[in-house]
Amino acid sequence: MTSLHDLTAPDEHFFEARRKVFPKAVDGPFRRLKWAIMAVALLIYYVTPWLRWNRGPWAPDQAVLVDLAHRRFYMFSIEIWPHEFYYVAGLLIMAGIGLFLVTSAVGRAWCGYACPQTVWTDLFVHVERAIDGDRNAQIRLQKAPWGPAKIAKRLAKHAIWLAIGALTGGAWIFYFADAPALGQAFVHGTAPFVAYATVGVLTATTYIFGGLMREQVCIYMCPWPRIQSAMLDEKSLTVTYKAWRGEPRTHGLKREAAVQDLEHEGRPSLVALAADPSLAEAIGTGIGDCIDCNACIAVCPTGIDIREGPQIGCITCGLCIDACDGIMAKVGRPSRLIGYTTDLDGRLAASGKEPLPALRRLFRPRTLVYFGAWAGIGLGMLFALGNRTRIDVSVLQTRNPQWVRLSDGSIRNGYIVKVRNMEARPRTVDISIDGLASATLWTEASGRSDASTHLKLDVAPDQVAQTQLFVGGPGSGPERADMVFTVRALDAEGGIARDKTHFERPEHEE
C-alpha cells in the first residue's frame, strides 16, 4: 500500500500545497477602474434591498424582492408570477449570451473586473494590506515566528474578514423578505432559522473563498475559465506580454553591458529610442524592453507570470499592465509592454506590421451574432412584458365523472375555474360561456335555480380565485362539444382572458 507520506511527498507530486500569493499594491488606470467597479458593485449589492417602491396597499413596497414564500418576484414596476418564470429564464439566457459576447469581444473581462470572487478577493486583499503592510512586509510576517504582534495582526485580519463575510451573507437575505422587518427580527433573534443558516453559510463561503482560497477558486473550482479558453479566439482581447518587444529580457550588469555595447557601436541609446520609436529596427537583437524586474509577477493576484503567455490562471485584471507601465516610465521606454491585444494583432506587430484598431476588432460576425441574439431576446422580453395581460383564466374540466345526468334528463358537466388577478388590487370579473346552445352556468352555492350564462366572481388582489362551476346542457347532442370560458374584468381598465374546454355527454342516447 502506498502510504500517505508517499502520496504527498514532494517528489511524487500527487498533491501540491497552495503557494501563497502576496500581491503587491499598484496604481494605474486599470487599478482605478477596478476600484470604481468594486465600489459600484458593492453599492448595488448592499443598497438594492433597502430601496422602496410604492405598489399600493396590497403589495410589498420593496423595490427588488424575491418572495419565495408567496411565489412572487418583484423588480421595481415589474411583478413576475411563477407561470411567468420564462422572463427569469430569458434573463439567465441573456446573462449567458452576454458572457459569450463579452468574452469574444474583450476576453475575460468578467473574471478580471466584475466577478464577485474577484471583487471580494480584491476587498480581502486590501484589508490584508492595511493590516500586514504591502507584499514584502507580508512575506516577512509570514516567515516571522509567532509572537504577540503576529498573533494580534492575524486576529485582526481574520476578524475583519469574518465581519465582511457576515455583512455579505447578511445583505443577501434581505432580497428575500421585507428588509427593515427582517433586519429588526434578525437582531432580536426572532427571524426564521433559514435566515440565520443562510447568513452562516454565506459568511463561511465568503471568508473561505475571499480570504483563504482566492485564486484557487478560479483555477480549480470555477468552470468558466475552462469554457472561456474554448471561447477565446485569435481576435479576442487578452492581457499579453509583447515578447517581440520585451525579449531578450536583461537586467543588472548584463543589461548595463549590453547598453554600453550598443553605444560603443554608435547605435542610438535607449533614451533616444524612447523619443523616437522608429529607431527600433536599428537596435537589432541586443536587448529587449523587459528589464526582468518581476513587477508584473509581484502584483498578480493569481501569482502567475504573464510573460509565459496566455494561461488559465490569468483573469485579465490588468494590474500587471499598470505595474509594467510604471516601470517602463521609469526606464524611459514606451508604455504597454504588457497590454491588451489580440493574438492576431500580436503576430502582426511581431512581424513589424500595423495592427488593426481595437474598435474594428469588435465588429466581426461572431460578436455581431452574439449581440443580435442577446438584443433579440431582450427586445422580445420587453415586448412581451409590455403586452402581457394581468388577468388570466384556466379551466380544468372535471374528469370523474365526465358528465352527470340530472333528474330532468339534462346533462351537467363540472369545471374548476381558476382566475388569476395579477394586479395589486381587488377585482370583480364576469365569467361567461360561449359555444354551447341553451347552456347555463351555476355554482354549488348559487344553485341551479339561479343559473344563467354569466356569473360574477370577486378575486382578491394578487391572488388566484378558484371556483367550481357547473354547466347544464340538453341531454341530447354531440358526445363532445367545444366550449369557451371568457373572463372579463369589470372595471375601467378591463381585460379579457379566455380558455377553451369541452362539454361531454353520454355515448348512447336512449
Q: Which residue in 7, 130, 144, 163 binds another protein (CB under 8 A)? A: 7
Taking CA 150 as the corner, what is the angle to CA 149 and CA 156, rounded to the nearest 5 degrees?
90
Q: Does 507 bind another protein (CB under 8 A)?
A: no
- How far apart are CB 407 and another protein at their closest, in Å? 4
Site for another protein in 290-349 (CB under 8 A): 308-309
The cell numbers describing 390, all together, are 394581468
Q: What single-letter DSSP state applies at residue 400?
A: S
- Judged by CB, which is closer to another protein: 133, or 192? 192
**Applying CB under 8 A, which part among 81-89, 253-261, 284-292, 398-406 lies near another protein?**
398-406
Quick check: 16 binds another protein (CB under 8 A)? yes
Under the binding rule (CB under 8 A), the answer on residue 409 touching another protein is: yes
Residue found by looking up cell 427569469 in the block: 88
- On whether the CB atoms of residues 316 and 109 are closer than 8 A, the answer is yes
Closest CA to 85 of 94, 97, 96, 73: 73
Among 74, 174, 241, 470, the residue binding another protein under the rule CB under 8 A is 470
Q: Does 471 bind another protein (CB under 8 A)?
A: no
474 binds another protein (CB under 8 A): no
- Among 405, 454, 480, 498, contact with another protein (rule: CB under 8 A): 405
CA quadruple 42, 46, 52, 57: dihedral positive or negative? positive
CA–CA gap between residue 297 and residue 136 (Å, rounded): 13
Binding-site residue total for another protein (CB under 8 A)?
37
C-alpha cell at 460: 382578491
Among positions 183, 248, 286, 475, the unique one binding another protein when judged by CB under 8 A: 475
Antiparallel, parallel or unpaired: β 427-434 and 480-489 = antiparallel
**Span interacting with another protein, options 3-11, 332-340, 482-490, 493-501, rule CB under 8 A:** 3-11
- The reply to whether 369 sits near another protein by the rule CB under 8 A is no
One residue of 5, 17, 507, 508 binding another protein per CB under 8 A = 17
Contacting another protein (CB under 8 A), which of 193, 351, 407, 494? Answer: 407
Three-state DSSP class for residue 140: helix
Element (H, E) at 346: helix 343-350
Q: Considering beta carbons, is residue 364 or 480 the nearer one to another protein?
A: 480
Please tell me whether residue 86 binds another protein under the rule CB under 8 A.
no
Write down the least CB distance from residue 450 to another protein, Å. Answer: 12
Segment lying near another protein (by CB under 8 A), choices 123-131, 275-283, 403-411, 430-438: 403-411
Helices (H), 193-312: 193-206, 215-216, 224-231, 243-246, 252-264, 270-275, 280-283, 295-299
Options 7-15, 222-230, 335-343, 456-464: segment touching another protein (CB under 8 A): 7-15
Residue 400 in the binding site for another protein (CB under 8 A): yes
Residue recorded with cell 468578467: 110
Q: Are 413 and 485 in contact (CB under 8 A)?
A: no
The contacts of residue 274 (CB under 8 Å, 6+ apart) are 332, 333, 334
According to the binding rule CB under 8 A, does residue 414 interact with another protein? Answer: yes
Q: How far is the CB of 9 from another protein (least distance, A)?
A: 9
Say whether residue 230 binds another protein (CB under 8 A). no
Instruction: Return the number of the residue (8 or 142) whose C-beta is nearest another protein.
Output: 8
Stretch of 28-36, 332-340, 384-392, 404-412 contacting another protein, by CB under 8 A: 404-412
42-56: burial string, b at 16+ Cβ within 10 Å, e else:
beebeebbeeeeebe
Please identify which residue in 39, 406, 490, 496 interacts with another protein, judged by CB under 8 A.
Answer: 406
DSSP per-residue letters across 37-96: HHHHHHHHHHHGGG-B----TTS--BSEEEETTTTEEEETTEEE-GGGHHHHHHHHHHHH
Reduced to 3 states, what is the DSSP secondary structure of residue 429? strand
CA of residue 299 relative to chain centroid, distance: 27
CB of 116 to another protein, least distance (A): 20
Nearer to another protein, 226 or 254 (CB): 226
In order of 130, 151, 162, 384, the CA distances from 157 in angstroms are 9, 10, 9, 50
Among 35, 85, 220, 363, which residue sits at the site for another protein (rule: CB under 8 A)? 220
Rule CB under 8 A: say whether 223 interacts with another protein. no
Query: Which residues inside 438-457 make contact with another protein, applying CB under 8 A?
Result: 444, 447-448
Residues that bind another protein (CB under 8 A): 1-2, 6-8, 11-18, 213, 216, 220, 308-309, 398-401, 404-409, 412, 414, 444, 447-448, 468, 470, 475, 510
